[in-house]
Amino acid sequence: MSRAPEMGRASTGQKIEQAIEKALDPLATALRRATTPTKVIVAAPGKPGLEVSPLAVPFPAIPAIGGVEIATARAGFYKHERDDLVVFRFARGTTCAGVFTRHKIGSAPVDWCKRQLAADGGGEDVRALVVNAGCANAFTGKAGADAARRTASEVAKRFGCRQRDVMLASTGVIGVLLDDRKIAARLADVEAALDADASATGQWAVAGLGIMTTDTFPKGAFAECQIDGRTVRIAGIAKGSGMIAPDMATMLAFIVTDAAIAPPVLQALLGLHVRTTFNSVTVDGDTSTNDTCLLFATGASGAPRIGRVGDRRLKEFSAALDKVMLDLAHQLVRDGEGATKFVRVTVDGAASPASARKLAKSIADSPLVKTALAGEDANWGRVVMAVGKTEEPVDRDHLAIRFGPHVAAVDGAPSPTYDEAAMSAYMKNAEIDITVDVGSGRASATVWTCDLTKRYVEINGDYRS
């Protein structure tokens, strides 16, 4: 944040900064002083009355990424006072790729983005991203599609671009038609905020807050790497707390890099890493109508443009992108509705990677396993149940189960060294590892999940209240 003026009327930019500081109060001072990529705490539940998750992590300080500006506004999709509209403005020539839900009832903004990116030249010059919280605009028929189109049209007029160059995303209640007039009415304020001189961390942090629904903390991640000797930056935000079992929940993720990368290459990278990041987490096993992950490359770093998937110069960038995506995916689990445990489930010895993944997800999605975790009960019999019900190849007589370093079962039977006291003490940890060897091959997979508590029922019981 810049310093307050010594005298005279505050400029529009200064007013915007003051609004950001108010939104992040009492931590605006920390944001103002954040000049290095250390962590800063930003926590404000998206819905009144929610306590911040005990597994919450600080929001990272994100330095400026050339070619992108971000602003938020209150469009009024929520009854209580909060920003619920986020707009990204990108430099000319920004490329884009996306991965979306495979839910059979996709939302209007998902349909819009998929259509624009699949068109000839799609993703070659994307100029804006518009995100609203509080209304999913899903299961709204032609009226919802028209509302999405009108939103893109209004933003395109403001930014001097084509409708197809505007990406859209929504999150919130399903079956409610988006009132696009609320977005159009705030675009002048948004444009003024985009032109303001706000800190990069402030922009990313308020954007993280603006897309939350039942989230209890904003989720951000940042990494740097080299492409042909040039430093490039990657930053992203995500939202999601319940209805999380991405299939590419209500999950949204937006990642921006200043690298110069062609759309087909971006798409290949996103598809590669989404499988082991966003598609390897689960809170409740439910996939949303609105799952969206968009990756933008502004080209502002000065690094050479990469136009071929096999280009060796992408190696370090690919690893950094995976790091950002995995960080965001883990934060979704850490903010699982009512979660008190962050759990890593690893299956080894599977017949194939697909089999290992299915087995791991069966354990991670099991309500019986998850409630045992909530009760800090190492009920490994429930793990056995979750493994066996999948009909995947499993060698019962070689099955082994560990909770952290503690062996519960080995060679298809209770471990002779099983120590109930040691196991019970381990289960009190906030982070728990469950490892299962099914003895059928050499493949492995890891899925991250959380426990299932009474609070999950409470939050979802009055979701629309």
Q: How far apart are the first and last CA of the chain?
A: 36
Strand 400-403 with 431-437, pairing = antiparallel
C-alpha to C-alpha distances, 337 to 213, 214, 218, 241, 434, nearest whole angstrom: 11, 7, 14, 5, 21
Rounded to whole angstroms, the Cα distance separating 345 from 402 reads 10
Rounded to whole angstroms, the Cα distance separating 24 from 304 reads 37
pLDDT at 3: 34
Active-site choice (95, 171, 213, 250): 250
Taking alpha carbons only, the member of 414, 262, 246 closest to residue 326 is 246
- pTM for this structure? 0.86
Query: What are 258's two structure tokens?
Result: 């200043």
Cβ density class 380-392: b for 16+ within 10 Å, e for less: bebbbebbeebeb
Helices 12-24, 200-210: axis angle to 10 degrees equals 60
Please give the single-letter amino acid code of residue 319: A
- Give one DSSP letter per residue of 194-238, joined into a string: HTS---HHHHHHHHHHHT-SS-SS-EEEEEEEEETTEEEEEEEEE
pLDDT at 45: 55
**3-class secondary structure, 449:** strand
pLDDT at 40: 45
For 325-366, how does the pLDDT look when each residue is reduced to its tens digit (9 = 90+)? Answer: 999 999 999 998 889 999 999 999 999 999 999 999 999 999
Q: Are 323 and 285 in contact (CB under 8 A)?
A: no
C-alpha to C-alpha distances, 303 to 28, 53, 417, 460, nearest whole angstrom: 33, 39, 56, 46
Tokens 């998902």 label which residue? Answer: 110
Q: Establish whether 250 is a catalytic residue.
A: yes
For 63-96, how does the pLDDT look when each residue is reduced to its tens digit (9 = 90+)? Answer: 999 999 999 999 999 988 999 999 999 999 999 9
Q: At residue 202, does pLDDT exceed 80?
A: yes
Tell whether the torsion through CA atoms of 207, 209, 212 and 217 is positive or negative: positive
Please give the single-letter amino acid code of residue 169: A
Residue 149 CB partners (closer than 8 Å, separation 6+): 112, 163
DSSP bridge pairs for 170: 132
The pair phi, psi for residue 378, each rounded to 5°, is: -80, 60
Query: What are 4's two structure tokens?
Result: 């307050």
pLDDT-derived band at 181 (thresholds 50, 70, 90) equals: very high
Please give the single-letter amino acid code of residue 341: K
For 24-41, how does the pLDDT look when each residue is reduced to its tens digit (9 = 90+)? Answer: 443 333 333 233 334 444
Burial of 153 (0-12, 13-18, 19+ CB in 10 A): middle
Query: What are 14's two structure tokens?
Result: 């200064």
Out of 101-110, 154-163, 262-271, 341-350, pick the least confident. Answer: 101-110
**3-class secondary structure, 239:** strand
Helix or strand run (H / E) with residue 98: strand 95-100
- Give one DSSP letter per residue of 242-293, joined into a string: SS--------EEEEEE-S-B-HHHHHHHHHHHHTTTGGGB-SSSPPPS--EE
